[in-house]
Amino acid sequence: MKFFEDIAVGERHELGRHTFGADDIKAFATRFDPQAFHVDEAAAARSHFGALCASGWHTAAIWMRLMVEHQRREDAARRERNEAIAALGPSPGFRDLKWLKPVFVGDTITYAMEIVEARPSNSRPEWGLITLRNTGVNQKGEPVISFVSVAFVERRAAAAGDRA
Amino acid sequence: MKFFEDIAVGERHELGRHTFGADDIKAFATRFDPQAFHVDEAAAARSHFGALCASGWHTAAIWMRLMVEHQRREDAARRERNEAIAALGPSPGFRDLKWLKPVFVGDTITYAMEIVEARPSNSRPEWGLITLRNTGVNQKGEPVISFVSVAFVERRAAAAGDRA
């Protein structure tokens, strides 16, 4: 992770992409969202969706994985450049999650995040608080998911203090 | 599902409970949230959490499963009473998701939902729109997750129209 001071409002990063296969969709839904249109092609064809589609929680969980993998790649590149790596704190939560379109079998979703706010934390002065707008867009350019997340990120001052 | 007209603001339903085991936590996190404190006990002990804990997306996904199972039990009871069953439409999303406390190995989370708003849909007159406050509380009575979700529910008028 970059330090809080190095994060600029307006920065945008593509996190990666994922193609949702039928087995993938059904395996997630069987465990966590066993509604007929997420686990059974024939039932899905008769539903308001018209075809098998991913649980919205699945679409969200893939964002999480791609975000973790993105941060790992970025941190590995920082290590190669001998740069210090900032700690990423726990997430207090999310707001305004919207499932905008169904994700059907074979759809490839490209996930991105944009920094929309960055401010020092009042309650925890060694941390900054960043607000991200996260989106997933399908291969036709249609947004399928969007939400706003908040995360604590280490400040340089705190890191310098640790070393002093 | 009950019909929109039969749903009262203030209704509260316990959805069920789930005990998070270490294997369960690690299996979810390995696929969707492979941060060290969700997949490795020793790394988790050194983290700000102090012990292995569930991905917040895992805590949320279990809510989804218990909600689906709750609706199925309710619909089965309606069928036994020869009552009509209302359709539940797609969810447009949720808001204000908060992870309030970590969910550690062995924690049992009890999930509940409460109807906080119910109104006819302007854009889709055959549906009503209900707003739910969802919570998960651990065995010590501490809330660990809360969020507000919105769902479309069929109106009686629409069902009567179908049959006319």
B93-99 and B143-154: which strand pairing? antiparallel
DSSP A31-86: HH---HHHH-HHHHHHSTT-S-B--HHHHHHHHHHHHHHHHHHHHHHHHHTT----
Residues of chain A with Cβ-Cβ distance to B59 below 8 Å are: none
CA closest to A101 among chain B residues: B92
Question: What whole-number distance in Å separates Cα of residue A157 and Cα of residue A125?
Answer: 9
Decide: helix, strand or coil at residue B100. Answer: coil
**Token pair listed for B52:** 């292995």
Radius of gyration in angstroms for the set of CA atoms belonging to chain A, rounded to a whole number: 19
The amino acid occupying position B131 is T
Q: A57: how many CB neighbours lie within 10 A of its CB?
A: 24
Residues of chain A with Cβ-Cβ distance to B93 below 8 Å are: 56, 96-99, 147
Residue A4: φ, ψ to 5°: -50, -45
Strands (E) located in B2-139 = 12-19, 93-99, 108-120, 127-137
Decide: helix, strand or coil at residue A139. Answer: coil
Question: What whole-number distance in Å separates Cα of residue A62 and Cα of residue A16?
Answer: 10
Predicted confidence at residue B91, as pLDDT, reads 85
> Does B95 contact A at CB distance below 8 Å?
yes
Predicted confidence at residue A159, as pLDDT, reads 61
DSSP B131-158: EEEEEEE-TTS-EEEEEEEEEEEE-HHH
Flag residues of chain A having pLDDT under 50.
Answer: 163-164
CB atoms B33 and A89 under 8 Å: no
Predicted confidence at residue B160, as pLDDT, reads 61
**Token pair listed for B58:** 């895992």
Helix pair angle (A22-32, B56-80), 10° resolution: 70
Contact B122, B57 (CB under 8 A): no
pLDDT tens for chain B, 164 residues long, are 899 999 999 999 999 999 999 999 999 999 999 999 999 999 999 998 999 999 999 999 999 999 999 999 999 999 999 999 998 888 888 999 999 999 999 999 999 999 999 999 988 889 999 999 999 999 999 999 999 999 999 998 766 655 43
Tokens 């949720």: give the residue: B94
Decide: helix, strand or coil at residue B39. Answer: helix
> Does B90 contact A at CB distance below 8 Å?
yes
Residue B21: φ, ψ to 5°: -90, 165
- Tally of residues, chain B: 164
CB atoms A95 and B97 under 8 Å: yes
Predicted confidence at residue B158, as pLDDT, reads 63
Predicted confidence at residue B129, as pLDDT, reads 94
Under the phi-then-psi rule, with left for phi > 0, alpha for psi from -120 to 50, and beta for the rest, what region is B77?
A: alpha
Q: Which of B125, B122, B116 lies closest to B150, judged by CA?
A: B116
Predicted confidence at residue B159, as pLDDT, reads 61
Predicted confidence at residue A123, as pLDDT, reads 87
Predicted confidence at residue B7, as pLDDT, reads 95
Q: Which of A31, A60, A93 sits opposite B99 (nearest CB)?
A: A93
Residue A159: φ, ψ to 5°: -65, -40
